[in-house]
A and B are shown apart, each in its own frame.
Chain A
Amino acid sequence: MEIHRYEKAWFVAGMVLIVGFIATIAYGAVGPGIAMVDDSGGTVGADPIANGNWNSTDAFREPGVYRTGENSFDVYIVAQRFAFNPGTGEPVRLPTGSEVTFYVASADVMHGFNIAGTNVNVMVAPGQVSEMTARFDEAGTYGIVCHEYCGAGHHDMAGTLEVVPQSEYDYEAANSEQREQLRTLQGGDR
């Protein structure tokens, strides 16, 4: 079989492009450490999320912001048609420069969890906890969007994330529920 020399050159250039793409992605994982969403969040039954029986599962906690270290936080969010809790009724509040791990679970159908214009982008499936870690260096109000169709009110399912400078972040008095959680944490829960 005869292959034209331009065809051979094109083939080689194509393979270089392909291998190059794979190499950049491998480098992204190993170098800058861009982790993929995976199964690390674990599975969770439908009942604890839908009915709020938080004590019946180790995989999830009562929705809210939990301080886990000097400048690191865990945020537990329930996605339920057509709201994020927290996020929709009250914003999720975090200080700048904090390392945040989101744990998002669905109470009913497939949802999406996307902080608009950022890399925080994950599917939320009933039965699974979606885990994703991010850092917010710039203060501002970010939009949280449900980007997977979830029913007739899907377009109303959105919320906000407020990132404020550390000096303005009220670690003690964010809200009463959150304070309660922080107290629990200081008591050595985590």
Chain B
Amino acid sequence: MATITPDETDTAAETDEQVLDEERDAFVDKFPTEARLTRWTFLVAFVALGIGGLFGLIQALHRTGAFRGFVSSADYYTILTGHGVLLVLVFTTFFISGFFNWAITRSLDRGSVDPRVEYGGFAMLLVGTVLAAVAILGGLFDSVPLSADVLFTFYPPLQAHPAFYIGAALIVVGSWVVGLGWFRRFWAWRKNNADERIPLQAFMVLTTMVMWYVATIGVAIEVVVFLIPWSLGLIQTVDPILARTLFWFFGHPVVYFWLLPAYLAWYTIMPKLAGGRLFSDPLARIVFVLFVLLSTPVGFHHQYVDPGIPEGFKFVAMTNTMFLLLPSLLTAFTVVASLEHAGRQQGGSGRLGWLKTLPWGKPAFSGMALAGLMFAAGGFSGMINAGMNINYLVHNTLWVPGHFHLTVGTAFALTAMAASYWLVPQITGKRLQLRGVAAIQPYMWFLGMTLMSNAMHRAGLIGVPRRTAEPQYEAFNYAQTVGGYGEMRIQIALGGTLLFVALVMFLAVMFATILAGKGGNLRVNSEFPEPLSGADDAPKVLDNLRLWAVFALLLVALAYGFPIYSMIQSGALDPSIPAVPVSLAGWLPI
């Protein structure tokens, strides 16, 4: 078992300041090229988070009617598109690229085979982001002939400027290229370590990427084969249901592309921060393999109320979706067991007394733990969404964004922020600044999200729609409930404001750290304790990535082959439905 160097606590004596630079054991010193790539991806991620979060604040105030002075209600949808794209496409993809780049480097203990691959992927991500962002923000200015007010889901026949689709495609392809760099590292490592188990973090990165390659087939076909040629005028028409089907082929597994990096943090980093170790390495591997297999053949559960899709396909997707609960339920067990072990190691006792000994003052720990707690709540509202019949009540209501602000908006985003408090010092060689601000920031986020999300869920139940600038109508009132819609609006506006404050606090800590001088010993390091039950206990077949990729593709073929074939049979390739460009439409009530 490796010797463990525990992370210093926040209250550690300041004597380590005196340790000389040469004695530092920082990731940045060992892998400078890889650390630089991670720094760049994090920088873009944080800028996207800041702008996307500001857009979120504008929306929370606008749609609740608290303040509508930022934009007109017509431009609300530009802000909404920017919020979605910047947060769930740009922030996530950049952060994950940097985070996984750290994880696989540390885990395989080797740098890139050829850094031009990873940096090339990063350049594609960046160009794609600029193209998409320019197309979206052009919608705010009448003088700019660009617009992409098509939201993050870009359903045709609403048509954005081609730059939007090309940018989105480059972001996806860029992530493929960065992933290729990681696989090349793995193959090189395998040559020298033929019989070794894949180190756990590398296993998690690689399985997540296998899932991602399978999942992005759908959106790649949608954008490259249909939407780009269509927006350039090369083809005249796109079938809306076929496009939606291809989008949701990708649109559900993409949430696991966000979630699995959080799981990586919860499984490998959080137990160490808590002063313990992972409970079970084999279970972690099984969980990630289950996600490879089950993440993709479920997309029809976003289309339960779509016309043009037979009920049987929806039922199959519902069944798959329910089984997708299993790996998350197993994760809940393993992560909580690891934390309980840590708590008891620190002297905690009793049924729940071990909770008190966990390091709640460390933002890296508290952020991940609170994110996990909110993910449990988000998981339960997700079960409702997956319920084919009860979904009638919540589909496209405010319940749905209420749900995913707990998942991607907290399970992922708060975990990413928490991981940054711990990782940014290691990739910059600088100590974390504004530690007091950092210590309360996760609690601020938790409070803001509690207010906003519970009110969004409840508002959804009385039929308040999502994705609208003014969800109040002259002709009718929503059903009366406890507290009424007015109380929910106040909570949403207040919660959104607190979330923005928490975001500013996070960014202040990050930029203060990035701008701080180097020097001194870091209080954190990337060494991990061995799990209680190690990799040797896991069946070897779990490490057979090729096998799982083939099974995943087979399941996708089963779930999607016949539905897409039957759509094409009924004319989906020649639907003769005219495009409706958003840039020309303007506000023309008919």
Contacts of A122 in B (CB 8 A): 305, 307
A-facing mask of B309-351, CB < 8 A → 1, else 0?
1110011001100110110011001100100000000000000
Q: Which residues of A contact B396 (CB under 8 A)?
A: 112, 114, 121, 123, 147-148
Known: A14-B325, A39-B310, A125-B306. A158 touches B473 (CB 8 A): yes
Chain A positions within 8 Å of B475 at CB level: 91, 141, 143, 158-160
A134 to chain B, nearest CB (A): 10
> Are B325's CB and A18's CB within 8 A?
yes
**A7-B333, A149-B77, A154-B77 known; A29+B585 contact, CB < 8 A:** no
Residue pair B465, A141 in contact (C-beta under 8 Å): no
Q: Which residues from A are CB-within-8-Å of B469?
A: 154-155
- Our pick among A116, A124, A156 for the contact of B463 (Cβ within 8 Å) is A116
Task: Check B590–A126 contact: CB distance below 8 A.
Answer: no
Q: State whether the Cβ of B392 lies closer than 8 Å to any Cβ in chain A.
A: yes
**In the complex, residue of chain B having the shortest beta-carbon distance to the beta carbon of A83:** B590
Interface code A1-40, partner B: CB below 8 Å = 1, 0 otherwise?
1111011001100110110011011001100001111110
B240-A127 in contact (CB<8A): yes
Tell me the minimal C-beta distance from A49 to chain B in angstroms: 10
Q: Is the CB of A25 within 8 A of B318?
A: yes
Interface status of A128 (Cβ within 8 A of chain B): yes
Does more than half of chain A's interface fall in helix, strand or loop, or is it mixed? mixed
In the assembled complex, A110 has its CB within 8 A of some CB on chain B: yes
| Chain B nearest CB, measured from A138 CB (Å) | 11
Interface contact B158-A154, CB-CB below 8 Å = no
Query: Does B69 count as interface, using CB distance less than 8 angstroms?
Result: no
In angstroms, Cα B306 to Cα A37, docked, is 7
Q: Count residues of chain A with CB under 8 A from any CB of chain B.
A: 73
Give every chain B residue within 8 A of A36 (Cβ-Cβ): 304-305, 311, 314-315, 388-389
Within the complex, what minimum Cβ distance (angstroms) separates A93 from chain B?
14
What distance in Å separates the Cβ of B55 from its nearest Cβ neighbour in chain A? 15
**Is there an interface contact between B392 and A18, defined as CB atoms closer than 8 Å?**
no
Q: What distance in Å separates the Cβ of A44 from its nearest Cβ neighbour in chain B?
A: 10
Also in contact, A152 and B307, with CB within 8 A (given A46-B578, A109-B157, A143-B476): no
Asked if B308 contacts A43 (CB within 8 A), the reply is yes
B447 to chain A minimum Cβ distance, whole angstroms, is 29
* Inter-subunit contact A145/B463 (CB<8 Å): yes
Residue B577, interface by CB 8 Å: yes
| A18 & B307 in contact (Cβ 8 Å cutoff) | no
Measured between beta carbons, the chain A residues less than 8 angstroms from B311 are 35-36, 38
CB-based contact A114/B329 at 8 Å: no
Do A121 and B307 touch (CB < 8 A)? no
Contact between chains at B157 and A108 (CB < 8 Å): yes
A35 to B314 Cα, complex, angstroms: 12
Q: Are B330 and A10 in contact (CB under 8 A)?
A: yes
Q: Does the CB pair A34–B157 fall under 8 Å?
A: no
Q: Does A130 contact B (CB under 8 A)?
A: yes
- The answer to whether A1 and B322 touch across the interface, beta carbons within 8 angstroms, is no
- B188 interface contact, C-beta 8 A: no
| B538-A121 in contact (CB<8A) | no
B319 touches A22 (CB 8 A): yes
Q: Is A153 an interface residue (CB 8 A)?
A: yes
In the complex formed, the residue of A with least CB distance to B312 is A38
A41 CB to closest chain B CB, in angstroms? 5
B571 within 8 A of A: yes
> B282 to A1, Cβ gap below 8 A?
yes
B396, closest chain A residue (CB): A147
- Are A145 and B590 in touch, CB under 8 angstroms? no
Q: Is B587 touching A114 in the complex (CB atoms < 8 A)?
A: no
Residues of A within 8 A of B (CB): 1-4, 6-7, 10-11, 14-15, 17-18, 21-22, 24-25, 28-29, 34-39, 41, 43, 45-46, 80-83, 91, 108-110, 112, 114-131, 141-143, 145-156, 158-160
11 contacts between A and B (CB under 8 A): A2-B533, A7-B283, A38-B314, A39-B307, A45-B576, A46-B575, A110-B158, A126-B157, A145-B463, A147-B396, A151-B587
Assuming A25-B318, A121-B305, what are 12 further A-B pairs, CB within 8 angstroms?
A1-B538, A37-B306, A46-B578, A80-B590, A116-B462, A116-B478, A126-B240, A126-B577, A127-B239, A143-B473, A147-B395, A152-B585
Q: Top 4 nearest A-B pairs by Cβ distance?
A: A116-B463, A143-B476, A147-B465, A152-B74
